[in-house]
Structures are given as C-alpha cells and as structure tokens.
Amino acid sequence: MISRRQLMASSIAGAALAMAPRVVLAAGPTEARFVVVLLRGGMDGLSAVAPHGDPDYRRLRGDLAVAAPGSADGLLPLDGFFGLHPALRPIHGLYATKELTVIHAVGTSYRQRSHFDGQNVLENGTDTAYSTPDGWLNRTLGAIGMSDRRLGLAVGPSVPIMIRGPVPVATYAPRVLPEVDGSFIARVRGMYGGDRLLHAALEQAVQSQAMTDDVLGEETPRGMVAPRRRAQQRAGMRELFGAAGKLLADAAGPRLAVIDTDGWDTHANQKLLLGNMLGALGEALAELKSGLGAAWANTVVITATEFGRTAAANGSAGTDHGTASVSLVMGGRVAGGRAIGSWPGLTERALYEGRDLAVATDLRAVVKGVLRDHVGVREAALEDQVFPGSRSAPALTGLIRA
C-alpha cells in the first residue's frame, strides 16, 4: 500500500518527468561512468569512518563513539587508524580489493551551518551560495562536448541543482519512491513559494499527511522512523541505486549521474538513526555496483554532503551542524585500499571554532582529480568552466588507476 507521503513524492517527480523531453540515445564522447551520491542533511563523517586511532576520539564522542575493530558491533578495520562503520559492511570488501579510497576531513569552502546555503555551495561548485543558477556537473557535461544523447542522469524525486543547467539531462524516479524527509519538502516549498496554485496544493498535501500520521501513529518520537517504514526506505534506496546502475551500464545510456538522498541530519538519537541510514546506504551502493555489472570496471562513485557534524555530542544523543565530513571514493577505476589526505586532529586547538572537525581537503580537489584522470576533462576547463575560482584547490593526483 502506498502512503500519502509516497504518493505526494511520486506526484512531484512525475510532474517533473512529464515536462522533460524524451531521452535520445546515440553514441557519446566518453565511456567512463561517474556517479555522485548526495547525502543531504550533513552526514557525520566521524561515525561513518571513525578515527579510532586518534586519542581524542573517544573523549569527544562519548557514547556516540563506535566500538573499536574486533569488538562486538565494532568498526570494520581499514588502515589501523580509521575504521568503517559496521553498517557499511556491504562495501567493506571494496577496500580489500583496492576499489575504495577514504578521504577524511573533506569539505567545501562554506563555513556557516545552513543546510540550504551549504547544499547550494556544494552543488554550484563556487565559493558563494546562489552565485550561479547551474551546477558543476552540468557544466562538466558542457566541457565534455555535445552528444546526440543525454549523458547526464538525475536519479531521485527531483533534479538537483548540481546537474541543472543548459545541457539537457535525463531523469529517473521509480514508480514508488523511497520515503522523503522534511528537507526535501522544504526545498519543494521554496521552489513553489511564488506560485499561488502549486504552493496551496503542496501545503494542503503536507497538512493532510501530518493529520494521517498523527491519527494512524506512523511517526515515532523525535522524528524516528517506524520499523515498517524503515524497511520500505531501505528497499526503496536499493531499487533506486540498482536502477541507476543498470541505466549507466547500458551501452546507449547516460554516463554521469547524481543520486539524491535525504535523511542525514542527526540531531537526536544518532546512534540508531545513523546506523539505519548507513545500513541503507551500504546496501544501496552494493546494488549500484551489481546494476553496473561489467561497467563497474570503468566507474568512479563519490559520496558528498554539505557539511559534517559537531565533534562532541549534544544533549539529545545526537550531533549538530558541523564543518568537515568524509568522502568515500569507490569503483573499478579507483586506486583504492587507502585512506588519504591530511588529518587535522581532534584536539581543542585543532577543531574549527573549537567544535568541528576542520576541513583539510577541498572536495573540489577530489572531484577535479576524478574528472581529469577518469572522465578526461581538460584541466583548463576544470579551472575556468566547471569550478571557476577554485585554483587554490588543485586536482588531487593518484586517485585513479593507471
């Protein structure tokens, strides 16, 4: 049975798909596959990849610290200093096969803590929120060159700013979408705010859903998700990622994609909520690899979030908006089996403003390295077109297998 929230999300996505022209399939200028997985809400990198070797980690994290490798429900070992959250077990094997690289203390140039501004900076690829209406992935498509088919693909209930722009892209959303959280509804509210008809219709749907949840008891305290709905979310994410893999694997399909996910804002009950989210992500990424099949050998996938979380827990067994997080870079073309980048440490002096993991690596440097050495985008185009004003963040070398 489809819930009203799913129906509302499907209707929004369906309207967007109905307005999009049909995809034309023909030969394209690249066979490299590149996927960005957006983790909206501020994913806690200190839990996803925990620095258990840092002497300040457990002092700061307290009850939120993940148990050491070898313990029950402990971290999955990586390099002796970092460990992967146990919920990410479905992708842990990629580290051993050298198809997973961990880059910690990653962030954009944004240093405030607004979801909307942070996400806009992440997606537009500049130093300033709302400085340009298009996204860096769409500009990448422009730098690759014209094609008779749409090489870009937006996967999810809406088309992210990252891939919006003058170059047409394909879109995909399943008939029954995964549950959406409040941040997605807030973005749609902002988009429809100036339209009297659509704004009124959306507000009526939101109020109706709230009433239904209250009467039927489908919402649990502090925004926690009921077990039945949680299972539906995980199944929905697996379907979404698996379908994206199959579309990218097709000989006449797209080559560059962004997969949009919500739900990473963990202000309370983080241990349970984040464990569920990371479990869903691990399963979904494994499904993406399965869907890609043989094309996985020519693929790079990166995860990206607008900011991380505070180094210490808050009073609600969660964390608040922070600064740096972690990026997982995986795929058959990745020179993996490593944790790279500078580690700023977790001493009080090392923390940004005394509370957050500091940014040591600009995420644009990571993306530039992948786009240059995997997708084949010229360095001049990366600096002048894709990420203008980012010369202080030169492309990382050595991310891609020779």
> What pLDDT is recorded for position 148?
76
Cα 310–chain centre separation = 19
| Torsion angle of the four alpha carbons 46, 97, 86, 311, in this order, in degrees rounded to the nearest 10 | 0
3-state secondary structure of 201: helix
Residue 204 lies in a domain: no
CB within 8 A of 229, min separation 6: which ones?
Answer: 3, 179, 218
Instruction: Give pLDDT tens digits along the chain (402 positions).
Output: 334 344 344 433 433 333 333 233 334 578 999 999 999 999 999 999 999 999 999 999 999 999 999 999 999 999 999 999 999 999 999 999 999 999 999 999 999 999 999 999 999 999 999 999 999 999 999 999 877 789 999 999 899 999 999 999 999 998 765 555 555 566 566 656 666 666 666 666 555 544 344 444 444 444 445 677 778 889 999 999 999 999 999 999 999 999 999 999 999 999 999 999 999 999 999 999 999 999 999 999 999 999 999 999 999 999 999 999 999 999 999 999 999 999 999 999 999 999 999 999 999 999 999 999 999 999 999 999 999 999 999 999 999 998
User: Does residue 401 belong to any structural domain of this protein?
Assistant: no
Structure-block tokens of residue 14: 């369906």
At residue 179, the pLDDT reads 56
Q: 96 lies in a domain?
A: yes
Number of domains in the chain: 1
Strand, coil or helix: 86 = helix
Angle at 267 between CA 262 and CA 273, to 5 degrees: 60
Residue 402 within any structural domain of the chain: no
Within a domain: 211:
no
8-state DSSP, 66: P
What whole-number distance in Å separates Cα of residue 52 and Cα of residue 80? 8
DSSP state of 36: E
**Does residue 201 lie in a domain region?**
no
CATH code for the domain in which residue 125 is found: 3.40.720
Structural domain contains residue 171: yes
Query: Around Cβ 184, how many Cβ atoms within 10 Å?
Result: 21
Residue 315 is given by DSSP the state T
The predicted structure's pLDDT at residue 184? 58
Query: What is the residue whose two structure tokens read 């983080």?
Result: 270
Which residues on adjacent β-strands are paired with residue 339?
102
> What does pTM read for this prediction?
0.84
Residue 304 lies in a domain: yes
Q: Which domain holds residue 146?
A: 33-175+227-386
